[in-house]
Structure 1
Amino acid sequence: MLIAISITLFFIILRFTVTLFNFISNPKLTRVSRHYTDKVSILIPARNEAGNILALLQSIQKQDYENYEVIVYDDNSTDNTYKICAKFAGAHPNFSVIKGDELPGDWLGKNYACHQLAIKARGKYLLFLDADTTVHNHLVNSAVHRMYIGRLGLLSLFPNQDMQTTGEKVTVPLLNFLLLNLSPLRLVLLTKWPSAAVACGQFMLFDAPNYHENKWHQQAKDKVVEDAEIMRLVKVAGCNGEVLLANNMINCRMYKSYNEAINGFSKNALAAFNYSILGMLIYILAIIGGPMIVLMTLNFNLIFFMAGLIILPRIMISLASGQNVVYNIILHPIQMVNLAIIAFLSIQKYLTRTNEWKGRKI
């Protein structure tokens, strides 16, 4: 029992330290007033995104960057995605949409779509956006500025997450919780370690010459968590990569219901552990089982100490992520249960080879 408690407290203190580092270092994209004129290709892979894509296109059209092109890749959608994009592009000359090719057997869908989009792009920078995002003023200028001052090959942003239903509020905050609780974001740029590689596919901005030389999506063509893999490849190649929080300059509503969120997260949760079932189980045991062991001691001082090291990070992470602090504290136990459910489903899908997303097997 003493060994289990000691391991639990060590793990909690370690996570608290990482969270504190992230909170103090404030890894957010800084707004800049300087206006850049480099051509930016905004590239959007879209599959069955009829409910999201128009809001994104309208937000791009209204934002304050002037020299850009937008290309949407309709990845064999079975809804009205192509029709919506074609109608919008017809009224806005710097927008276009292309029909996707048949997916090659050795590629995953999004990776192939991004690769094809890059071939069509003409910009100095390639900005890949997910179709469920919306952008705001200062985003592109501030991101291009960051590319210049950091001499970056890749800048990735974690958008602010929009959550409307209770099902979203008990699942989606897990993304930022795990990110800021485990990954010191500033170290992605400050170190050359490939292991310090994290990224978010919702916003990936590449230096175009560097991208075309390395064909990053082609190198990661069969990776489920392609964003982190590409960041790792960028670092292995000796290029600079950086990951920041979007600072309210881009928003995303990842999922619109509890079931959608559980399915979405479980499709790639195990991939984040490099498909190590043991590694995932140890992590779940440490993050959920460990605190339960401490509670069983009925030692008030120990429980109070542990609770403080859990609640304080939730406060810091919520503030850094632009999320509701009170909700995340109250819903923390439910979110942890959902984390265990996501882990179980991810392992089950992997073992039974039934992992699917948007009608395709992964």
Structure 2
Amino acid sequence: MFIIWTIICLVGMFGLISGALMFWSSPLIPIKNNTHNPLPLLSIIIPARNEEGRIEALLQSLKQQSFQRFELFVVDDGSTDRTDSVAKRYGATVLQNEKVVHMGSGKSHACWTGAKQAKGKWLLFLDADTQFVHETSLETLLLSYLDHGAEGVFSVQPYHKIKQVYENFSAVFNMIVMIGMNIFTPWREKFPAAGAFGPCILCDRENYFHAGGHEKAKTAIMDDFALAKVFRENQFPIFCYGGKGIISFRMYPEGWKQLIEGWAKNFATASKSTHGIVMLFINLWICGGFALIGGLIISFLEPNLVVIVISLFFYLLYTGQTAFLARKTGNFYIWVFPLFPFLLLFFTGVFVYSLYLTKIVRTVTWKGRNIKV
């Protein structure tokens, strides 16, 4: 039994090392003052389907921004609620999405519809559940894009703000979303970005239409990955940043059903774009967490004070590491992380369910639509 426990502890150690390497850094957008020439006209495009309860926070945050030289489009993607009237109340131009074919989520069509009406030099695509944190956040985002040469895709993963206990079960998913982009390891310069962060994408209008934009991603479930791919094929760079302090969102506030449905619809598909080495780190980290649970159980089956202390030490290390990594992506409750085995079990279960939907059923459901994969 001691040999088994030793092997388990070694697996746990490799898991801890992998956890450190897979999320070595999480670049944030630096806050700066505008020392450049006036920024160009911006077109903000918000695809929205039944977002009456969420979009107002975003529109209110836009109204408070120090940078106001933008036109605002909300593309109504077949909503059955009051999304359009809320958008009009904040001065947005509301467009109706083009007819959605049997493939794709509708979001790509909505983005393309908005882009074709846009007059701005730069295009900013925002999910309806996002919102800017400070009055200078939009200007900071634009200045950072300018510092990167104002070309290609500049994408930001919003910081996840949660309000209900069940939302903590998104913690591991948020970590993997960022880690899976390949660029947060010590070797970020060697691994190409797997895609872009869909909730906040900024690009040059000319680059966008030259590459084909969302028209090339119209059948994709993961529109952000598909868009990044067409930009990359046209030799445009892809930039990915964490949004803490700039932009936030609240995901799946309607409850468990929406949370599971939302993560299951695209997670297995997205994993195909993650670099093999990064995927190895992720798998080792997850296996290490499960292994340490086994090691802790074994230590109590054959009581030995030294073994129990070492097992508890590793368990607490994993707890601390999980909390540290997860809170780079959202304000998850600290007290849930000693229960990290349940977070890992939930993540694994939803991932397996996602594989079932995408590989066997070949259909996923989102916002009342059955989407063929």
Instruction: Give the partner amino acid of 2:14.
Output: F
Q: Which runs of 5+ in 2 are unaligned?
A: 300-306
SS at match of 1:244: strand
Rounded to whole Å, the distance in 1 between the matches of 2:186 and 2:221 is 20
Rounded to whole Å, the distance in 2 between the matches of 1:183 and 1:311 is 24
Fraction of identical pairs, as percent = 25
Structure 1 residue 204 corresponds to structure 2 residue 214: no
Rounded to whole Å, the distance in 1 between the matches of 2:124 and 2:287 is 37
Cα-to-partner distance string for 1:247-290 (whole Å, 9 max, x where unaligned): 222121111122221221111121122399xx999679736543
The answer (yes or no) to whether the contact 1:314–1:329 under 8 Å persists in 2 is yes
Structure 1 residues 98-137: aligned runs within 5 Å: 98-135=95-132, 136-137=134-135
Cα-to-partner distance string for 1:299-340 (whole Å, 9 max, x where unaligned): 447635643552343243245335256234234232222212
Structure 1 residue 161 corresponds to structure 2 residue 170: no
Q: Which runs of 5+ in 1 are unaligned?
A: 90-94
Structure 1 residues 313-332: aligned runs within 5 Å: 313-321=321-329, 323-324=331-332, 326-332=334-340
Residue number among 183, 208, 213 corresponding to 2:210 in the alignment = 213
The answer (yes or no) to whether the contact 1:318–1:328 under 8 Å persists in 2 is no
Cα-to-partner distance string for 1:4-34 (whole Å, 9 max, x where unaligned): 7655543431222233x21xxx510111221
Residue number among 12, 18, 22 corresponding to 1:14 in the alignment = 18
Q: How many correspondences in the alignment?
A: 349
Rounded to whole Å, the distance in 2 between the matches of 1:14 and 1:190 is 15
Q: 1:164: how far off?
A: 0.8
Instruction: Give the partner amino acid of 2:157.
Output: F
Instruction: Give the partner amino acid of 2:162.
Output: M
Rounded to whole Å, the distance in 1 between the matches of 2:8 and 2:293 is 11
Rounded to whole Å, the distance in 1 between the matches of 2:186 and 2:141 is 16
Structure 1 residues 18-33: aligned runs within 5 Å: 18-19=22-23, 21-22=24-25, 26-33=26-33
Q: 1:181: how far off?
A: 5.2
**Cα distance change on mapping 1:6 and 1:347 into 2, 3 Å:** same
Structure 1 residues 139-158: aligned runs within 5 Å: 139-151=137-149, 152-158=151-157
Q: 1:296: how far off?
A: 5.0
Structure 1 residues 175-324: aligned runs within 5 Å: 175-179=173-177, 185=183, 191=189, 193-194=191-192, 196-256=193-253, 257-274=255-272, 286=287, 289-298=290-299, 299-300=307-308, 303-304=311-312, 306-307=314-315, 309-321=317-329, 323-324=331-332
**Cα distance change on mapping 1:243 and 1:283 into 2, 3 Å:** same
Rounded to whole Å, the distance in 2 between the matches of 1:41 and 1:287 is 46
Q: CA RMSD in A?
A: 3.1
Cα-to-partner distance string for 1:159-213 (whole Å, 9 max, x where unaligned): 12121111112x222233224555554579963744x324321111112111110
Residue number among 53, 65, 69 corresponding to 1:51 in the alignment = 53
Rounded to whole Å, the distance in 2 between the matches of 1:241 and 1:9 is 34
**Cα distance change on mapping 1:62 and 1:331 into 2, 3 Å:** farther
Rounded to whole Å, the distance in 2 between the matches of 1:283 and 1:230 is 30
SS at match of 2:124: strand
Between stretches 158-167 and 176-185, larger displacement belongs to 176-185
Q: Which has the larger radius of gyration?
A: 2
Q: 1:120: how far off?
A: 1.0
The residue number in structure 1 matching 2:74 is: 72
Between stretches 122-131 and 312-321, larger displacement belongs to 312-321
Between stretches 294-303 and 118-127, larger displacement belongs to 294-303
Cα-to-partner distance string for 1:134-155 (whole Å, 9 max, x where unaligned): 1232222111111121124111
Between stretches 171-180 and 299-308, larger displacement belongs to 299-308
The answer (yes or no) to whether the contact 1:156–1:243 under 8 Å persists in 2 is yes
The answer (yes or no) to whether the contact 1:54–1:85 under 8 Å persists in 2 is yes
Cα-to-partner distance string for 1:67-124 (whole Å, 9 max, x where unaligned): 10100100111111122223433xxxxx211112211234431111111111111111
* TM-score w.r.t. length of structure 1: 0.84
The answer (yes or no) to whether the contact 1:188–1:241 under 8 Å persists in 2 is no
Rounded to whole Å, the distance in 1 between the matches of 2:229 and 2:185 is 13
The residue number in structure 2 matching 1:42 is: 44
Rounded to whole Å, the distance in 2 between the matches of 1:217 and 1:14 is 35
The answer (yes or no) to whether the contact 1:46–1:75 under 8 Å persists in 2 is yes
**Cα distance change on mapping 1:83 and 1:322 into 2, 3 Å:** closer
**Cα distance change on mapping 1:103 and 1:284 into 2, 3 Å:** farther
The residue number in structure 1 matching 2:361 is: 352
The residue number in structure 1 matching 2:63 is: 61
Rounded to whole Å, the distance in 1 between the matches of 2:116 and 2:199 is 19
